[in-house]
Amino acid sequence: MALFGVDDTVVAVLAPFATALFAPAVVRKLKHNAAWVLAVVPAIIFLHFCRYVGAVSSGETFTEGFSWVPAYGVNFTFYLDGLSVLFAMIISGIGTLIILYAGGYMKGHAHQGRFISFLMLFMGSMLGVVTANNMITLFIFWELTSITSFLLIGFDHLRKASRRAAMQALVVTGGGGLALLAGVLMIISATGQGELSDVLTTGDTLRNSALYTPILIMILGGAFTKSAQFPFHFWLPNAMEAPTPVSAFLHSATMVKAGVYLLMRLNPVMGDTMAWEIILPGFGGVTLLVGTILAIRQTDLKLMLAYTTVASLGLLVMLTGTGSEAAIEGAVLYLFAHALFKGSLFMMAGCIDHEAGTRDVTKLGGLRKAMPITFAAAVLAALSMSGLPPFIGFVAKEVLYDGTWTVSGLITLVAVTGNVLMMATALGVAFKPFLGEPVETPKHAHEGPVLLWLGPLTLAVLGLLAALAVGWTGPALLGPMAGAVFGEPNQGDFHLIPAHIGAPLFLSLITMALGAALYWRLEAARKLVDRVVTAIGWGPDRGFDQVITLIVTFAGKVTTYMQPGRMQTYMSAVFIIVAAALLVPMIAFGELPSFPGMPGFTFYEWLVLTLVVIGIISVLAARTRLIAIVSLGIQGFAVAVIYMLFGAPDLSFTQFMVETLSVVILALVMTRLNLTAKDNRPFRETVPHMVIAGAVGLGFGLLLMAVTQVPFDARLSEFFSANARVIAHGRNIVNVIIVDFRGIDTLGEIGVVMVTGLAILALIRVRARGPKKPEEASTGGPLQAVSEPVNEEAAR
C-alpha cells in the first residue's frame, strides 16, 4: 500500500512531524478549537493501523520503507506485526484524545501552539520506535523521544523545578540511549543483520554469541532507564512537573513503555536464558514494590499515579522476564489495560487541578456533584486499575496470576503485594477527591469543557468495553501481540480468561480484600511509609544530584588545572604533546633514524651553519626580550640563505620577507604589552622549559633525518613539472603549486592570516581604550575581563 509512491506506514510515521510545523499557525488562527482540527491527523494514523489488525491476527507481517544510507546499511524501514501494530494503535489512539485534551487544558496559554507542536513531535518519534525495522533507525527515533520529552517536561521553563526535571530525564534516558546504541551495534555485529525482522529469524545466534552478556547489559541499560526501573525510577515522578497532557501521554501510555516494548521485541532472541530470567524479574519485582510503597506515601494525585506507573512498568518487566507464555500473556493484557486506565486517571487528575486549583487529596473532597462526568470517569478507570470485574484490569490480573502461579511462588507474592498496594492507591485517587463533604478549594470547582472530560471518559469506557468484548479483543489485538513476544506469528489459542477457576481467582479475591482494607486505613499507611522513608533519608533522586555535583566538581577541577589562564601553561602543554607525537611513535615502533656520521659540507655551508649557531647563542644570551626577538630572526635568514644556495631564489626572497615582517610585527606587539624588559622566570621553571624545547627540537630533527633516509619518490615532482605549463599555463612551478594545484590550501592560509590580524587589531584597540570608568565597571559588562591590561603571566 502506497500513497504518492511512498509506503503508507512511512507517511503515517512522518505525518506528526509535518503537522508539528503547522500546529502553531493553526492554533494562532483557531485558538483552543485548533485541537479539533489537529486531532484529525493522529485519528487518521489510528485508522491506518487498524487496517492491519485483521492481517496480523492471521499471522501476517509487513515490511515497508526504503533505503536511507545504503553505504552503512541504514534503511528507513518499518516492521508491522501484532506487537508493533497494537503499540502504534495505543500511541495514535490515545494521542488523538491527548491533543483534544491539550486544547482544553492549555486554553488561553500563550504558547499552546508550541506545546501541541511538541506533542506531535513526540508522537511521531514514538511511532517510529515501535514500528522501526532497521535497528539504527530505531535508535534515532529512540533518542528523539528523549529530546521531545525534554522539551515537554521543561515546557514551563521559567520554573526551576521544571528545568531540573527535564534535565534529569534527559540525562537518565539519554545515557540509556547511548547504552542502547552500543547494544544495537553489537547485535548487528553478532548476527550480521541490521533489520529487526531479520534478527528475529536468527534463532539462538544471540544467545550463543560471546557478545550476549555485554549485549544484554547494554540493552537492559537502555530499557531500564527509559521504563524507569529501579534504581532509575526517580526521573519519572519528577517529570510530573510537566503539564498534565504530557503526564497522561508520555508517562503513562507511551514513552515509559518504550523500554518494555524493546524487551518484548527482543524476547524471542534474547530471552530464555538464566541471566534474562533472573535480572528482569529481579529488577521488575523490586521496581513494583518500591513504586507502590512510595505511591501510598503521596498526597499529590499526579505523584500517586506516577509512582503506580513506575510499579506497573516493574510488573511488566517482571512478567516479560519469567519465560512463561501465560505470564507474558498477562503482561500483554496488563500493558493494554494500563494504557487505558492510567491515561484516563492522569487526565482526570488534570481536570481536578484545572477546575479546582489543587491536586492535593488532603485538600479535596465532595467534588462528585460539581464534577459528575469526571467522577464517573475516575470511578470506571480506578475500578479497572484495581482489577475488579467486569473491567479489562480484572481480566489482566487473572491472566497474570495464572502465569506467575506456575512459575514462582516468590514472583506471585510480589505480584499480589504490588496489586494490593496499587488497588488502595487507585481507590484513593478515585474516591478521596469526590466523596465526603465539599471542601473549599482555591478555585470554584465545576465540570470542565468537553475537551477536558472527553478523553478520560472515553478511555475509562473502553476499559469496560474491552473486557465485555472478550471474543474479539483477545484474538484480534492481544493474541497477535503475545505471539510476537513469544516469537510466533500467530497465537490463536490466546484466551482472556484462564481455562480453570482456581489459584488465579483465589489470588484475586485476596487482592481485593487486602486492597479494600488498606484503602480504609490509607491515611495511617501513608503516615507510616512517610516516617520510614524520612528515616532512611537518602534515595536515588538525591544520589542523582550527588553524582551530578561530583561530575561538575571534577570537571571544574580539571578545567582549573588544564585552563588556569596562563599562556605559559598552554604553550607548555602544546609543546609536550608535539614532542610526544614526534618521539613516542619512532621509539615505540623502532623507527629511529640511523646517524650517517659527519656530513661533507662545503665551506659556505659551514658558514651558514655557523650563522645558525650564532643566532641560537644570541637568543639564549639576550638580556632583553626585544634583543631575543631580533636574534631569533637570524635563524630564518639562515634558512633563506640555504634556499638561495640550492637554487631557489624565489623561496629565498619569500623567506627573507617573512622573517623581516615577523621580527618587525613581534617587536611592535611587544611594545604594546605590559611586560617587563626581561624574562624573570625562576630556575625551577626554566629547566623544565629547556627540556621541553630540547625534546621538540630533537623530535623534529629525528623526523627530518628519517624522512631524508627514505628513498625519494619523484612521482609528485614529475607530475608538477609535466603539468605546470600544460594545465596551469605557468612557467614557475612553485607559483603554480601555490596558486593553482594547492589554491584552496593557500586560500585557507590567507584566511588564517587575515583572522589573526583582525584578532590582533581587536586586542590592540581594546588595550588602547584603557580601564573602564567606575560606573561601567559596576555593571560587569562582557568586556570587563578583556579590558584589563595584559599581565606578564598571561603573556607567557
pLDDT tens, position by position, 196-242: 999 999 988 999 999 999 999 999 999 999 999 999 999 999 999 99
Q: How confident is the model at residue 789 (pLDDT cuts 50, 70, 90)?
A: very low
- Which three cell numbers, joined as nine digits, stand for 347? 487526565
Instruction: Read off the pLDDT of residues 139-190 as tens digits, 9 standing for 90 and up.
Output: 999 999 999 999 999 999 999 999 999 999 999 999 999 999 999 999 999 9
- The CA distances from residue 767 to 257, 475, 788, in Å, are 59, 80, 7
Instruction: Read off the pLDDT of residues 664-721 as tens digits, 9 standing for 90 and up.
Output: 887 777 776 666 667 777 778 888 888 999 999 999 989 988 888 888 888 888 888 8
- Which three cell numbers, joined as nine digits, stand for 668? 611592535
pLDDT at 295 over 80: yes
Average pLDDT score, the chain: 88
pLDDT at 738 over 90: no
Cα-based torsion angle of the residue sequence 744, 750, 753, 759 in order, rounded to the nearest 10 degrees: -90
> Which amino acid belongs to residue 219?
I
Q: What radius of gyration do the chain's Cα atoms show?
A: 36
Instruction: Read off the pLDDT of residues 90-130 as tens digits, 9 standing for 90 and up.
Output: 999 999 999 999 999 999 999 999 999 999 999 999 999 99
Please state, as a whole number, how many other Cβ atoms lie within 10 Å of the Cβ of residue 177. Answer: 22
Using CA atoms, how far apart are residues 77 and 62, in angstroms rounded to an integer?
A: 10
Q: How confident is the model at residue 355 (pLDDT cuts 50, 70, 90)?
A: very high
For the residues 512-524, what does the mean pLDDT come to?
A: 94
- Which three cell numbers, joined as nine digits, stand for 663? 621580527
Instruction: Read off the pLDDT of residues 540-599 as tens digits, 9 standing for 90 and up.
Output: 899 999 999 999 999 999 888 888 888 788 888 899 999 999 999 999 888 888 777 666
> Which amino acid belongs to residue 253?
A
Can you tell me whether residue 460 is helix, strand or coil?
helix
Instruction: Read off the pLDDT of residues 38-89 as tens digits, 9 standing for 90 and up.
Output: 999 999 999 999 999 999 988 899 999 998 988 888 999 999 999 999 999 9
DSSP 444: -
Q: What is the pLDDT of residue 779?
A: 42
Using CA atoms, how far apart are residues 287 and 231, in angstroms rounded to an integer?
A: 8
Extended beta strands in 374-474, E state: none
Q: How confident is the model at residue 465 (pLDDT cuts 50, 70, 90)?
A: very high
Q: Tell which wins on pLDDT, 318 or 740.
A: 318
